[in-house]
Amino acid sequence: MVGALLCYVLAPLAQLIRRITGPSIDEEDDAAERCSESLRVETDARPVAWVPLGKDQTALLQEWLHGGPGGESVEERGANVDAEIPPREAEEAAMTWQQAGDQQPAAAGWGDVEEPSVSAWHLSAPAWTPSSQGAKEGTPPPVWLPAAAQEAPSGWQPPSHQQHHQNASAIDWQFMSPHGTPQPVGGTMWHVPGALGMNEAPPNMLWQFQNEGNITTNSGQLTRTWENTTQRQGEDAGEGSPFEFTVMSYNILSQDLLETNCDLYSHCQPEFLKWEFRFQNIMQEFDTWDPDIMCLQEVQENHYHQQFQPALQLRGYECIYKRRTGIKTDGCAVCFKRDRFSLVSQHPVEYFRPIVETLNRDNVALLAVLRPAPPQTPDSGQDHPTLPDILVANTHLIFNPRRGDIKLTQLAVLLAEIQQLLQAAGGDAKPCPVILCGDLNSVPESPLYKLIRNGELYYYGMPTWKVSCQEDSSHQVCPRKLYGPLWPSLLRITDSCQYVGVCEKKTPGLLRYGREFLLQLRYSAPALQRPEHLELIAGVTDSIPEPPGDGSERYVSVPEPEDELFCKRSPTTIRHNLHLTSVYSHYQPDTGRPEVTTCSSGYGLTVDYIFYSAQPLPDKSGKGRRRYQDGALKLLGRLPLLSEHDVWMANGLPNALCSSDHLSLLARFGLQPCG
Ligand code: KL2
C-alpha cells in the first residue's frame, strides 16, 4: 500500500516538481542521476519525433549494409559516407539486402555445436504484421510493416498503403522452435493486451496469465531468430572453426535498483515486477538461448548466492561474481559451461580509487581468462590444434549521463586491466582474443563508443555529457568540460590506457618527475623554508606561501612513488591498442531503425555491447573510423535486437516475458587455432 503510494502518487509528483525546477548542473552522483531520470520521464510524456539519421548513424548503417564489420567498406565502393541517405532509400537498400540474405541458419552454419533446443523467440504483436510472404504459417517474416500511426511510438508515421495491417487484438509472447513452428516452452504462455498507448499503465484486468499449452494465432509476430552473419559476408560458415561457442551479455535489472527507481517502471504491470516472477523468466531465457558464456550485469548479491549460482551450477555452469563497492547491492557475474571452458584466472576490478576524482564511484568489472575445452572425439588426443585462451571482460559503467569524465576514466582502467592481463596471458607471442561485454551506458554514436571501436578519442574541450550521448544536455549554460590529462599520473595509467609497467620501463639512473608529483611538493616543509641568504624585498621575499586549503597540501607527505609515470601525457587525446569491433551493427538492416538494448520509461537506447578482437584493415579514408576483418574470433551469428517501436509494441520493458529493462545480447563465435 505504502509502496503503491510511493510509486504512483509521490514519485510522479516529485518528478513533476523536478521538471518544473529543472536540473542543476553540478550535482552529486545520485542527485544528478535523479535529474536525468526526470529527463527520461519528460521524454516519456512527449515522445520524441522520428529523426532522420545523422552522419555517424548513416555511416554506421551504410557500412553495415555493405557487408558488416568485416565486409567491404563504403569508401571502397566509392560512396560518400558523409552524404546523408534519405531514410526511405536506406530502408529499400536494407530490404533488398535482407531478401537476398535472409535465410534461417543452415545446419552447416552451426558446425558440430549442439543445436539449441529452441533457437527462435517470437513476440507476437498486433500492430505489426509481416508482409505478404512472411505471413505464411510458422515462417519468420522478413519485413515488418507498421500499423496505425496512433499506435506507433516515437512519432513514426507509416506509409498509407501499409495501414490495413492493424486489426490484431492481442500481443502473444511465445517461444518458437528453430524452424518457426510455434511451441510453448514448459506449456507456459502469456497473453498481453495489445496496442496500449506507450504511456498508458494497463489496468490489471486487461492482463491474464495463462498456464496452458495451446498456441493462439501466429499473425503479427516480432521475432528474435538467430541471424547467420557469415552468409551476409559471403563466407562459408563454420569451416575452419573447430570450436564454436555462444556468448550472452545481459543486464538483468537488480530488484533493489528496480525498487529504488520504481517510477521508471510505472508503465509495467506490477505482477511482472515481482522478483520471483522475474527470476523464473530470466532463468527461462537462459534455458532458451543456452549460452556457453554469460556476462551478466546488475546481479544482486543475495540473488547470486541464493538463486543464480545454485541454479546455474545445476545446469552445468561455473560462475564468478564481483559485487559493486559501496552500498549498492548488485554486481557483475560471468558464468560459463564447465564442459566447454575451464577458468584459468579471474580478475575483479574495482574502479573506485579515493585519490582520483574521476574514479570516486562504485562501479566494477570482472575479467576471466577461459580455456576452451575442445569436444572429445574418438581421435582426440592426437594432434588437436591448440586453441588460444579467451579473455572475457564484463562491466557496468556509471549511469550518470553527465559524467562522461568518469565513464572515460573507468573505461581506461578497464582497458589497462585487459592489456595487463593479455601480457600476463602470453604477451604478443600468443595473442589471446578479447570479448568485452557489458552495459557501457553510452550509445553507438558516442565518443566513448568511438574510442573503443577506433582506438582513439580527441576529447579536449568536450562537454562531459557528450561522452555517452545518453541524453542531449546542450541546453546547459556552463557544462562541465573535459580537459587533459583526464586522470592524474599517480593512477599509473598512460593515455594509451596501459599501466606504466606495461608501456615503458623506468630508464635506470634517469630521474624525471611527473607534473602531479612535483605539484605535491609545493607546500612541503623544505619548499616553505626561507633560504638563509635570500635578499629581503618587502612584499616579495618576506611572505611564506599559505597552503590553499583545497586539499592539494594533503599530498605533502606522499613519498616518491616507486615507479612514477614517465610516459609523456597528452592533454587532448586518449588511445588504446586493442582492436575491438562490435557484434551488433546498431541498426536494423531491414528497416534502418536504430536497435535498442534498453527501454525502461521514456525511450529506448543501445547501451549494451559485445565487442570482440578483430584485425584492423588499413584506413584509406583518413576519417578515423576503423574497419575490421575477423581474426582468431570469427563472428558466426547473433540474435537480432529489436527497435524501440518493437519494444513498445510489447508495452515496453520489463514485460510479461522479458523480465529486465534491457534485452539480452547473444553472439556465436568460431575460435581459430593458434598459429
Ligand atoms: O541505464 V542502467 O539503469 O545501465 O540499466 O544503469 C543504472 C541505471 C543502474 C545502476 O546505477 O541503475 C539505474 N535514472 C534512471 N536509472 C537509474 C538512475 C536514475 N536516476 N539511477 C540508477 N539508475
Mean pLDDT of 495-510: 69
- pLDDT tens, residue by residue, 129-139: 223 333 333 33
CA 375, distance to chain mean position in Å, is 31
- Burial label for 582, CB within 10 Å (0-12, 13-18, 19+), is buried
Q: Give pLDDT, residue 323.
A: 98
| Highest mean pLDDT of the ranges 4-13, 154-163, 298-307 | 298-307
Cα torsion angle, 130, 135, 138, 142, sign: negative
Mean pLDDT of 194-203: 34
Query: Do residues 669 and 611 make contact, with C-beta atoms less than 8 angstroms apart?
Result: no
For the ranges 41-55, 420-434, 629-643, 658-672, which has the lowest average pLDDT? Answer: 41-55
pLDDT, averaged across the chain: 71
pLDDT higher than 90, residue 444: yes
E strands, 550-664, in order: 573-575, 580-582, 595-596, 598-599, 604-605, 608-617, 627-630, 633-638, 642-643
Query: Do residues 155 and 47 make contact, with C-beta atoms less than 8 angstroms apart?
Result: yes
204 CA to centre of ligand 1 in angstroms:
27
- Both 233 and 86 in a single domain? no
CA 485, distance to chain mean position in Å, is 26
- Both 317 and 407 in a single domain? yes
Q: Give pLDDT, residue 484.
A: 85
Mean pLDDT of 460-467: 97
Mean pLDDT of 184-191: 28
Q: Give pLDDT, residue 144.
A: 26
- Both 612 and 469 in a single domain? yes
For residues 39 and 29, give the distance between their C-alpha atoms in angstroms, rounded to a whole number: 15
For residues 622 and 619, give the distance between their C-alpha atoms in angstroms, rounded to a whole number: 6
Instruction: Provide the grid cell at 153.
Output: 511510438
Does any domain span residue 321?
yes
Query: Do residues 438 and 332 make contact, with C-beta atoms less than 8 angstroms apart?
Result: yes
364 CA to centre of ligand 1 in angstroms:
15
Q: Which of 179, 186, 168, 163 is nearest to 122 (CA)?
A: 179
- Both 173 and 253 in a single domain? no
pLDDT band at 552 (very low <50, low <70, confident <90, very high): low
pLDDT band at 537 (very low <50, low <70, confident <90, very high): confident
| Highest mean pLDDT of the ranges 342-351, 385-394, 485-494 | 342-351
CATH of the domain at 607: 3.60.10.10
Element (H, E) at 669: strand 665-671
Torsions phi, psi for 634 (to 5 deg) = -110, 125
CA 179, distance to chain mean position in Å, is 29
| Highest mean pLDDT of the ranges 38-42, 162-166, 184-188, 597-601 | 597-601
**Residue 550 vs residue 95, higher pLDDT:** 550
Atom from ligand 1 closest to the CA of residue 601:
15
Instruction: Provide the grid cell at 439.
Output: 552495459
Q: Which of 220, 195, 219, 216 is nearest to 206 (CA)?
A: 195
Mean pLDDT of 332-343: 98
Query: Do residues 303 and 280 make contact, with C-beta atoms less than 8 angstroms apart?
Result: no
For the ranges 173-182, 239-248, 595-604, 641-650, which has the lowest average pLDDT? Answer: 173-182
Mean pLDDT of 360-388: 83
- Both 170 and 240 in a single domain? no
- Both 279 and 170 in a single domain? no
**Residue 480 vs residue 110, higher pLDDT:** 480
Does any domain span residue 186?
no
396 CA to centre of ligand 1 in angstroms:
10
| Highest mean pLDDT of the ranges 59-68, 116-125, 159-168 | 59-68
Mean pLDDT of 346-372: 97
Does any domain span residue 211?
no
Q: Which of 190, 181, 258, 206 is nearest to 600 (CA)?
A: 258
In this structure, the chain runs to a length of 675
Query: Do residues 203 and 197 make contact, with C-beta atoms less than 8 angstroms apart?
Result: no
* DSSP per-residue string spanning 492-510: -B-TTS-BHHHH-PPPTT-
Mean pLDDT of 633-644: 96
Q: Which of 177, 196, 195 is nearest to 185 (CA)?
A: 177
Query: Do residues 666 and 227 make contact, with C-beta atoms less than 8 angstroms apart?
Result: no
Query: Strand 189-193 vs strand 434-439: parallel, antiparallel, or unpaired?
Result: unpaired
Q: Name the residue of 15, 19, 30, 33 whose CB sits within 8 Å of the most ligand 1 atoms, as the mutation to test its pocket.
A: 33
pLDDT band at 92 (very low <50, low <70, confident <90, very high): very low
If one counts the domains in the chain, the total is 2
Q: Give pLDDT, residue 650.
A: 87
Atom from ligand 1 closest to the CA of residue 396:
4
Q: Give pLDDT, residue 646.
A: 92
For residues 29 and 33, give the distance between their C-alpha atoms in angstroms, rounded to a whole number: 6
- Tell me the CA distances in angstroms from 672 to 368, 437, 675, one per residue in order: 19, 20, 9
Preceding peptide of 654 cis, ω within 30°: yes
Question: Measuring from atom 21 of ligand 1, which residue has the nearest CA?
Answer: 33
For residues 264 and 67, give the distance between their C-alpha atoms in angstroms, rounded to a whole number: 38
The pocket around ligand 1, CB under 6 angstroms, is made up of 33-34, 36-37, 251, 257, 261, 264, 399, 439, 441, 598, 607
- Both 171 and 291 in a single domain? no
Q: Give pLDDT, residue 507.
A: 52
Give the position of cell 484486468: 205
For residues 420 and 17, give the distance between their C-alpha atoms in angstroms, rounded to a whole number: 48
- Both 290 and 173 in a single domain? no
Q: Give pLDDT, residue 249.
A: 99
Question: Measuring from atom 9 of ligand 1, which residue has the nearest CA?
Answer: 399
Does any domain span residue 183?
no
pLDDT band at 524 (very low <50, low <70, confident <90, very high): confident
Query: Do residues 365 and 340 make contact, with C-beta atoms less than 8 angstroms apart?
Result: no
Does any domain span residue 75?
yes
261 CA to centre of ligand 1 in angstroms:
8
Does any domain span residue 298?
yes
- Both 174 and 285 in a single domain? no
For residues 645 and 652, give the distance between their C-alpha atoms in angstroms, rounded to a whole number: 9
Instruction: Provide the grid cell at 57.
Output: 548513424
- Both 292 and 372 in a single domain? yes
Question: Collapsing DSSP states into helix, strand and coil, what is residue 283?
Answer: helix
For residues 651 and 601, give the distance between their C-alpha atoms in angstroms, rounded to a whole number: 10
| Highest mean pLDDT of the ranges 25-34, 79-88, 243-252, 541-550 | 243-252
The order of strands in the sheet holding 227-228 is: 227-228, 633-638, 665-671, 243-251, 293-300, 330-337, 317-323
- Both 171 and 269 in a single domain? no
Q: Give pLDDT, residue 282.
A: 98
Q: Which of 221, 114, 146 is nearest to 176 (CA)?
A: 221
Full residue range of the structural domain in which residue 170 is found? 1-108+120-125+166-178
For residues 30 and 400, give the distance between their C-alpha atoms in angstroms, rounded to a whole number: 8
pLDDT higher than 50, residue 190: no
Does any domain span residue 189?
no
Q: Give pLDDT, residue 664.
A: 98
Does any domain span residue 530?
no
Mean pLDDT of 558-582: 77
- Both 427 and 487 in a single domain? yes
For the ranges 28-37, 204-213, 317-326, 642-651, which has the lowest average pLDDT? Answer: 204-213
Preceding peptide of 310 cis, ω within 30°: no
